[in-house]
Amino acid sequence: MTDSDASRLPPELARLRASIDNIDAALIHLLAERFKCTQQVGALKAERGMPPADPGREAQQIARLRALADEAGLDPQFAEKFLNFIVAEVIHHHEAIAAGDPPAPRTGT
């Protein structure tokens, strides 16, 4: 059975899914903005010969996000995993920039 036919959905489920779609869109936009910042950080670090990863900064971010998650009713362990997932991708980008092989720029069309 599939419930992909929106007209058959219970209205409450359709309403919740509409909110989920809006939230997912916001997350994508927020992530795009974050990666625009980190691309600039990667270029700055490469210019100055700084290492791609900064474990001290990451430890601060994890502590801060775990506390925010706790206050917000989100599992802090999930918040930490989510940050680590993003930061690992950022570090790959930084390494590629330092190697002179930056990720292709996105136009945002």
Ligand X SMILES: O=C(O)C(=O)C[C@]1(C(=O)O)C=C[C@@H](O)C=C1
Q: Between helices 76-98 and 11-48, what is the axis angle to 10°?
A: 40
What is the length of the chain?
109
Cα–Cα distance list, 9 to 4, 24, 55, 66 (Å): 8, 20, 47, 36
Site for ligand X in 54-73 (CB under 6 A): 54, 57-58, 61
Tokens of 62: 């994890």
Our CB check for ligand X shows the closer of 20 and 44 to be 44
Query: How far is it, in rounded angstroms, from Cα 101 to Cα 89?
Result: 15
Q: How far is the CB of 81 from ligand X (least distance, A)?
A: 14
Binding mask of the shown chain, residues 2 to 31, with x at each position contacting ligand X by CB under 6 A: ------------------------------
Compute the least distance from the CB of residue 108 to ligand X, in Å.
19
Planar angle of CA 47, 35, 31, nearest 5 degrees: 165
| Shortest distance in whole angstroms from residue 85 CB to ligand X | 11
Note whether 80 binds ligand X by CB under 6 A.
no
Q: Which is nearer to ligand X, 55 or 108 (CB)?
A: 55
Q: Which residues bind ligand X (CB under 6 A)?
A: 38, 41, 53-54, 57-58, 61, 87, 90-91, 94
